[in-house]
Amino acid sequence: MLKGKFNFVLTMSLVMVLVLGIGLVVQAEEYVLRLAHISDENHPSHKGAVLFKQLVEERTEGAVTIEIYPNSTLGSAPEYTEQIQIGAVDLGLSTSGQMQEWVKEYAAIMIPFLFESYEHAHRTLDGKAGDLLAEKAEKEGMVVLSNWEWGFRQITNNKTSINSPDDIKGLKMRVPNEIQLQAMYKALGANTNIVAFPELYMALSQGVVEGQCNPLATIYHHNLYEVQDYLALTNHIYNTQMLIASEVTMNTLPDKYQRVLKESAQVAGMYVRQLNIASEDELVTLLKEEGMEVTRPDLDAFRVKMDPAIKTISEFAGEEFTAEFIEYVEEAR
């Protein structure tokens, strides 16, 4: 009798160990990753983040869950990028200008008038140049999963239409804490004021600054047309945007899930690029309908003034690296 009870207890104990063991295994294979970005829910970047989330969760059968935090919920891009570096945030969308705080070579991407088209920029950054930059980022604890898109910057202001460089002289232009835009506007005779992106709309509405530059999708989806009257289509600086992951986070994931993240990021990145390019003509029309006056300046007049800015950027990014980077740009032209 006692032996039977002992066997029963032993059997039940083994069952409980197995059940608990299985539970522990399942729990150990479930990962919840936080993805931060600065855009609103209608922006191409957010739509790409949603697609990335869907792909990852489907391909891992729910073992990896992505929580998206849009609209600077987890702070400005420089703030959450720093958190990604130390492993406090798992994933985020950061532009080349934001990444240069940790990897100064990223500054070379934003040399004014460097790229002739989206396709030219994509060929460059999806090739050896992008690989070289990604290697440098990984040394700083950030894994570039894929290149997405922020876009070509256009200039807006609430003072005057822009048809030539002279129209920019004296304007109070908002810039992020990025040396390229500061150098470019200095070369054009504008006055610059550093304003973080989450404070941009308020700064424009209160007259702290009179103008700014961002891609069309950002100007429209962040309602900047409400506080800006003039839009100049200049395509003066191209910004890539990358989905980056914390190296700390990646090291906790099995190889198979790391591959899923990278492959899903590439698919989502292509989707963002397609959305961005396909929407630009429509966005110009929509911005006109919102009351913005749109001009298309002769860009040659701007290009000839860029030598001081290019020199400043080259020195910041490293002259040797910048020369190598420009060689890749020319190969892809």
Same domain for 296 and 221, yes or no, is yes
| pLDDT over 80 (residue 21) | no
The verdict on 218 and 245 lying in the same domain is: no
Residues 292 and 212 in one domain: yes
Give the CA-trace dihedral at 256, 262, 267, 273, to 10 degrees: 170
Q: For 62-106, write each residue's pLDDT tens digit.
A: 999 999 999 999 999 999 999 999 999 999 999 999 999 999 999
Residue 123 bridge partners (DSSP) = none
> How large is the average pLDDT for residues 302-327?
96
Question: 303 and 315, same structural domain?
Answer: yes
The mean per-residue pLDDT over the stretch 242-268 comes to 97
The torsion angles phi and psi of 226, rounded to 5 degrees, stand at -70, -25
Residues 170 and 288 in one domain: yes
Q: Are residues 267 and 131 in the same domain?
A: yes
Q: Quick one: 38 and 59 in the same domain?
A: yes
Residue 1 in this model has a pLDDT that exceeds 50:
no
Closest CA to 92 of 49, 123, 47: 49
Rounded distance between C-alpha atoms, residue 97 and residue 108, angstroms: 9
Three-class secondary structure of residue 54 per DSSP: helix
The mean-pLDDT minimum among 194-198, 256-260, 262-266, 292-296 falls in 194-198
- Is 212 inside a domain boundary? yes
Q: Is residue 169 situated within a structural domain?
A: yes
Does 37 lie in the same domain as 56?
A: yes
Above 50 in pLDDT, residue 316?
yes
CATH code of the domain in which 207 resides:
3.40.190.170
State residue 20's pLDDT score: 45
More confident residue, 2 or 288: 288
Of 158, 154, 153, 155, which is closest to residue 210 (Cα–Cα)?
Answer: 158
Provide the number of structural domains found in the chain.
2
What is the pLDDT averaged over residues 282-306?
A: 97
* Res 182 pLDDT > 50: yes
Domain assignment present for residue 35? The answer is yes
Residue 5 within a domain: no
Same domain, 133 and 213: no
Question: Same structural domain for residues 83 and 193?
Answer: no
- Render the burial of 128-161: b for 16+ CB within 10 Å, e for the rest: ebbeebbebbeeebbbbbbbbbbbbbbbbbeebe
In a domain, residue 181? The reply is: yes
pLDDT the model gives residue 29:
77
Report yes or no on 72 lying in a domain. Answer: yes
Position 10 pLDDT exceeds 70: no
Q: Which of 15-29, 121-135, 235-249 has the lowest mean pLDDT?
A: 15-29
pTM: 0.85
Query: Looking at the predicted structure, is the pLDDT value of residue 16 above 70?
Result: no
Position 188 pLDDT exceeds 50: yes
Establish if 58 belongs to a structural domain: yes
Rounded to the nearest integer, the mean pLDDT of the chain is 92
CA distances, 57 to each of 50, 69, 155, 244 (Å): 11, 16, 39, 18
Taking a C-beta distance cutoff of 8 angstroms, is the pair 209, 193 a contact? yes
In a domain, 21, yes or no: no
How sure is the predictor about 284, in pLDDT bands with cuts at 50, 70 and 90? very high
pLDDT in tens, 27-36: 447 999 999 9
For the chain, the farthest-separated pair of C-alpha atoms sits apart, in whole angstroms, at 101
Q: Are 198 and 66 part of one and the same domain?
A: no
Q: Note whether 219 and 280 are within 8 A (CB).
A: no
Higher-confidence residue: 29 or 157? 157
Domain residues for 328?
Answer: 152-238+282-332
**328 & 311 share domain:** yes
pLDDT of residue 15: 40
